[in-house]
Structure 1
Amino acid sequence: MELREIPRLESISKEEFVNNYVKPQKPIVVAQITKDWPAYQTWHFDYIRTIAKDKTVPLYDDRPVTHEDGFNEPHAKMKMGDYIDLLEKEPTNYRIFLYNLMKEVPSLQKDFRWPNLGIKLVKQLPMLFFGGENSKVFMHFDIDYSNILHFHFHGKKQCILFSPDQSKYMYKVPHSLISREDIDFDDPDYDRWPALKKAQGYIAHLEHGDMLYMPEGYWHYMKYVTPGFSMSLRSLPRKPLHFAKAAYNVLVMRHYDNLMRRWKGQKWIDHKNNQAIIRTHEALGISTKNDT
């Protein structure tokens, strides 16, 4: 894969952000944007453990999706204090995904500021994401095609992005938002996944307090280089086509996929995974032994 480092700025005005990045749909990292937030000083594991140690949190790992998995159904649960102890003790695949910790611990809401960057943000409470060393979030794009402001805290994180026009190379699983889960995007096997050789994307390395702007519909793969956590703020898609796709995903695609899982079971999951290869290779004129 061809990956370009995402540009990194120390600060940005709302005019620059909208004109240079939102309108042309280009990613950017802004390093100093959280310097005036209380969170910049306080959002470390010790602080989270102190204020939320007794909260039971949902945990997810990197096991492949099966027909038995419910929508966003966690693989395990743990007290937040015990989970942070685990993160600090040893590498773990367990992640917290889309968890509304601010609802459970309202004092966290005073720690961040809604940034004035010229886009209208959805003012629901932000979700938080936690991960252990080397834990990974599989390649996917978001169901609502939002523009995302992704803020990272406590440690280092690597993000690989692809724009929507690269979807033809991503081995997208039909009726879903993911690529094949057995692709290692850190070290792709190009004999097995030859389409990826043609993909052109971006890479960013985030540290404490950095913000990554991910334009609407961008594929993203996240790896926690060290234990850490992140927060995302969202803005609804600006492009009418993306808004229509988001509505279809929420109102039709998700429900159809759940229906087929209940009806066909694991055969439906296996069929979709096979189709991801067949459709990708047929569209690109690639002939391999792995198409079935």
Structure 2
Amino acid sequence: MKLNLQDIPRVKNISKEDFIKQYFKPQKPVVIEQYINDWPAYKKWNLDYMKTVAGDKIVPLYDDRPVDYKDGFNEPHATMKMSDYVDLLKNEPTKYRIFLWNVLKEIPQLQKDYTFPDFGLKLMKRLPMLFFGGKDSHTFMHHDIDLANIFHFHFEGKKQCILFDQDQNDYLYHIPHSLITREDIDFSNPDFEKWPALKKAKGWQCELQHGEVLYMPEGYWHYMKYLTPGFSMSLRAIARHPKNFGKAVYNVLIMRNYDNLMRRLKGQQWIDWKNQQAIVRTNNKT
């Protein structure tokens, strides 16, 4: 048995008007296959190029270890020179990923390789983020703290993406006071005996290749698995739906600070309680 996933629609290209009408307003995902073919990045951006322009940079690395109460919010698990990291990606499988690496701040010259697209949404131009991963590395199923509209541009290799909207929360074993689901769920091959509620979840899937753009609507849960070594860049636009904007404000101002406080007060007991509550609350709702 597999997850109930439908293929994300694909278009070769799309106008601003059609994007707003067909995907943004109904909040549906889409893959745009040829939108950035005229960017210099389309031809230039690969792992070797990143090694050339950023080889001496020290990069933050994350793996798939479970959350520990001692970990700070988005605190990296290791650091490495970019040149060494690219060599690692190309030579052997690794769980290490780069997460939320700010292009503008770290490698300003990369700005010359792309332009901010006009999808009819106001993009946050100070927050273009890069994400890197080795073969079979993956993110936990999560949604972003600000529930933003996300445009995810993929470079080099292939990447599996699984999405769920916020209406599926009851079935995903969402950990309370957090942005993630249970970390021990393998969304690429879930154990339905252990996680039976997942049978009821309805989501979306795609396989991204070099130069393709995935639009993820506001607050969509996403799981990303690198089928080969590669990297992506995300651009984002603020949540426009009042309910999602309100959740974003709550997450940033209250939820994150409350969770950090409880980690300091209760330590691993807090993490363990949240993990158990993910199961209890999901079972109660389903």
Q: TM-score, normalised by structure 1?
A: 0.96
Name stretches of at least 5 consecutive residues in structure 2 with no aligned partner.
Answer: none
Question: Which consecutive aligned stretches of 4+ in structure 1 deviate over 2 angstroms post-superposition?
Answer: none
Is 1:44 paired with 2:46?
Answer: yes
2:89 paired residue number:
87
Alpha-carbon contact 1:103-1:125 (below 8 Å) kept: no
2:199 paired residue number:
197
Structure 2 CA distance for aligned equivalents of residues 34 and 96 of structure 1? 23
Alpha-carbon contact 1:141-1:217 (below 8 Å) kept: yes
Deviation string for 1:38-70 (max 9, x for gaps)? 000000111111111000000000000010101
Name stretches of at least 5 consecutive residues in structure 1 with no aligned partner.
Answer: 285-292
2:114 paired residue number:
112
1:272 paired residue number:
274
Is 1:170 paired with 2:164?
Answer: no
Aligned match for 2:72, one of 62, 70, 73: 70
Q: Residue 277 of structure 1: SS of its match in structure 2?
A: helix
1:4 paired residue number:
6
Structure 2 CA distance for aligned equivalents of residues 100 and 232 of structure 1? 10
1:140 paired residue number:
142
Structure 2 CA distance for aligned equivalents of residues 105 and 278 of structure 1? 45
Displacement of 1:102 in angstroms is 3.3
List aligned pairs for 1:161-240, cutoff 5 A.
161-240=163-242
Structure 1 CA distance for aligned equivalents of residues 206 and 27 of structure 2? 16
1:290 paired residue number:
none
State the AA in 2 paired with 1:20.
Q
Structure 2 CA distance for aligned equivalents of residues 74 and 133 of structure 1? 19
Q: Residue 258 of structure 2: SS of its match in structure 1?
A: helix
Displacement of 1:187 in angstroms is 1.1
Deviation string for 1:140-192 (max 9, x for gaps)? 00100100000000110010000110011010000001000000111111111
Q: TM-score, normalised by structure 2?
A: 0.98
Deviation string for 1:218-269 (max 9, x for gaps)? 0000000000000000010110010000000000000000000000000000
Structure 2 CA distance for aligned equivalents of residues 138 and 72 of structure 1? 13
Is 1:23 paired with 2:25?
Answer: yes
State the AA in 2 paired with 1:62.
D
Alpha-carbon contact 2:131-2:232 (below 8 Å) kept: yes
Displacement of 1:82 in angstroms is 0.4
Structure 2 CA distance for aligned equivalents of residues 103 and 195 of structure 1? 42
1:289 paired residue number:
none
2:34 paired residue number:
32
Q: Residue 181 of structure 1: SS of its match in structure 2?
A: coil
1:248 paired residue number:
250
Give the number of aligned pairs. 284
State the AA in 1 paired with 2:196.
P
Displacement of 1:125 in angstroms is 3.8
Aligned match for 2:157, one of 155, 158, 166: 155
1:53 paired residue number:
55
Provide the aligned C-alpha RMSD in A.
Answer: 0.7
Q: Residue 152 of structure 1: SS of its match in structure 2?
A: strand
Alpha-carbon contact 1:166-1:200 (below 8 Å) kept: yes
Displacement of 1:101 in angstroms is 3.5
State the AA in 1 paired with 2:216.
M
Q: Residue 59 of structure 2: SS of its match in structure 1?
A: strand
Q: Residue 98 of structure 1: SS of its match in structure 2?
A: strand
Alpha-carbon contact 1:152-1:210 (below 8 Å) kept: yes
